[in-house]
Amino acid sequence: MLPTAGLRIDQAPPLHLPFRFFGTAPLFAMLTGGVLLLKGQELLLTPLQPITVATLHLTLLGWLFMVICGAMIQMIPVLAGIPVPWPSLVPWVHGLLTAGVGLFFLGLTPDPPLPWALHLASLSLAMAVGGFLVPIAVALVKAPARHPTVNGMRLAMLAMTGTLLLGLFFLAEHADRFVALDRRILVGIHLLWGLVGTMGVLILGVSFQVLPMFYMTPAFPDGSARRILSGLALTLVLVPVALLGAGVDHPWLPWAAALPGSAALILYAVATRRMLRQKKRQRVDATLTLWLFGFACAAVALLLLALWPVTGDERLRFLVGILYVFGWVVPVITGMLHKIVPFLVWFHRFSTLAGLVEIPMMDDLSPVRAVRLQVWLIVGSVGAMILAILTGWDPLLRLAGLGLIGIGAISLYALWFALRIKPPEVEKMPDFASFFKDFVPPSAPGSPP
């Protein structure tokens, strides 16, 4: 039995709204793998070359943000207790986001880039993310719930807004070259707000609720959750201020500004380890393995990032990016989906039939063997990328590309596996009044028969 106390399951949106995002995201995972397979070593020349930036955004926007959109549309009504307004916008958001990511990749990969494609990408992505952010923001502002997960969502949405504005500026500037500027500081802020502020805060915030719910751990301490979010919020504000104000003259200042966030992550690691050691289910399933692998990669990424001011080795930038994006965000979001999708299908299709007919359990809606294979593909792909950076051996990146194609294919298969089981037919019970259709009331005393 899932611990769903405090959740507003009755507020969940129709199944087709989040699942359109969940079904599209694996296609972009496979497309990313195809680029690695075909381009290989070209992606490692420099982190900010167009093909590398375009491929990274296939993963971040097309794969991971696509999942985040579907998950937020589903989780906010359940966790915050208020439906997301204007659900009719969701198909438009999905279509514009899909088109925007495709145009982004199409416009940025040729040499020279295609300005018309970048302009269309800017328009599509602005409308998609804006159409997503506005209803989400309205729901989060009006939400009666004050759970740390909801506060984490609020912080992530603020960071997402800043990420979007900077991203649109970069696209416009790249298309028209209207400003001669040193983009490194703004790119750093863009990465901070996108990777840490949006995806990082959202993953940590959701885990406050998801870990106890799906892995039968004790509740995440509210006090620790508030301190973690406060530390991350401070870093998201202080680091940009330090970069813009004194990043060149005092390069140590941005690293000092990151200390609150670093302390927050250490606190999160300690609290999470304590929770997992006390979980009621001692069995470690494949999805929990993905979470543990992801957090191990995140820890290594942070350690390598701390070495950057000391060594300045260009390979560290690639290693940190791969460990953070493919080693942490991808496994954690993938593991989360393998729990969320069966739960949603079971709730929408079978929960009302409990006790009336035989229905599947949640575990019956997940392909266990395929998920285990996906764990090995994720670990192997990350390992191949790391070795490719350290050795410069091109075939390893192509091997990682094959792994990403397999990861996306298994995600699609898992979605089909959950949706393929239809709810059983339930014999319609006769109306209660029909039992009395031939009933003749007795005659009153003294009346003729």
Q: DSSP characters for 43-108?
A: GGS-TTSHHHHHHHHIIIIIIIIHHHHHHHHHHIIIIISSPPS-GGGHHHHHHHHHHHHHHHHHHH
Closest CA to 5 of 84, 82, 79: 79
Residue 193 in any domain: the answer is no
Cα-only R_g, the chain: 25
Per-residue pLDDT, 407 = 96
Cis peptide before 112 (omega within 30 of 0): yes
Domain boundary among 121, 145, 169: 145
Report residue 260 as tokens.
């609150």
Per-residue pLDDT, 275 = 87
Q: What is the distance between the alpha carbons of residues 299 and 323, in angstroms, rounded to a whole number?
A: 9
Residue 236 in any domain: the answer is no
Q: What is the distance between the alpha carbons of residues 187 and 104, in angstroms, rounded to a whole number?
A: 17
Closest CA to 421 of 322, 326, 349, 357: 349
Report residue 315 as tokens.
């390979």
Closest CA to 187 of 121, 240, 237, 117: 240
CB of 109 within 8 A of CB of 117?
A: no
Q: What is the distance between the alpha carbons of residues 375 and 50, in angstroms, rounded to a whole number?
A: 30
Q: What is the distance between the alpha carbons of residues 317 and 87, in angstroms, rounded to a whole number?
A: 40
CB of 61 within 8 A of CB of 101?
A: yes
Cis peptide before 448 (omega within 30 of 0): no
The domain in which residue 372 lies consists of 313-422
What values do phi and psi take at 159, rounded to 5? Answer: -65, -40
pTM over 0.85? The answer is yes
Q: What is the distance between the alpha carbons of residues 91 and 89, in angstroms, rounded to a whole number?
A: 6
- The DSSP output letter for 39 is H
Residue 386 in any domain: the answer is yes
CB of 342 within 8 A of CB of 389?
A: no
Domain boundary among 106, 124, 145: 145
Per-residue pLDDT, 438 = 60
Residue 374 in any domain: the answer is yes
CA distances in angstroms from 79 to 139, 211, 324, listed in the order given: 11, 14, 27
Residues 6+ apart with CB under 8 A from 217: 211, 275, 276, 278, 279, 280
3-state helix, strand, coil in the chain (%, to 5): 80, 0, 20
pLDDT in tens, the chain (449 residues): 444 445 555 566 788 899 999 999 999 999 999 999 988 777 776 777 888 889 999 999 999 999 999 988 888 887 777 888 898 999 999 999 999 999 999 988 887 788 889 889 989 999 999 999 999 999 988 887 678 888 999 999 999 999 998 888 887 776 666 555 567 788 889 999 999 999 999 999 989 988 888 888 888 999 999 999 999 999 999 999 888 876 556 667 888 888 999 899 889 988 988 888 887 766 668 888 999 899 899 989 988 887 876 776 778 888 999 999 999 999 999 999 998 898 888 888 887 777 677 788 888 888 999 999 999 999 999 999 999 998 888 889 899 999 999 999 999 999 999 998 887 776 655 555 555 556 566 665 555 55
Structural domains counted in the chain: 2
Per-residue pLDDT, 172 = 75
Closest CA to 39 of 48, 30, 29, 52: 52
Residue 255 in any domain: the answer is no
Q: What is the distance between the alpha carbons of residues 36 and 42, in angstroms, rounded to a whole number?
A: 9
Domain boundary among 145, 160, 177: 145
Q: What is the distance between the alpha carbons of residues 189 and 195, in angstroms, rounded to a whole number?
A: 10
> What residue has token string 């709730």?
347
Residue 415 in any domain: the answer is yes
Q: What is the distance between the alpha carbons of residues 363 and 349, in angstroms, rounded to a whole number?
A: 15
Q: What is the distance between the alpha carbons of residues 215 and 405, in angstroms, rounded to a whole number?
A: 29
Long-range contacts made by residues 284-288, C-beta under 8 angstroms, separation at least 24? Answer: 286/335, 286/338, 286/368, 286/371, 286/372, 286/374, 286/375, 287/214, 287/335, 287/336, 287/338, 287/339, 287/371, 288/215, 288/335
Report residue 439 as tokens.
């009933």
Spacing of C-alpha 268 from chain mean position? 18
CB of 394 within 8 A of CB of 40?
A: yes
CB of 106 within 8 A of CB of 114?
A: yes
> What residue has token string 């359940």?
78
Residue 280 in any domain: the answer is no
Per-residue pLDDT, 349 = 82
Report residue 154 as tokens.
């609020």
Per-residue pLDDT, 13 = 79
Residue 400 in any domain: the answer is yes
Report residue 48 as tokens.
């900010």
Per-residue pLDDT, 105 = 93
Closest CA to 305 of 401, 191, 397: 191
Per-residue pLDDT, 1 = 42
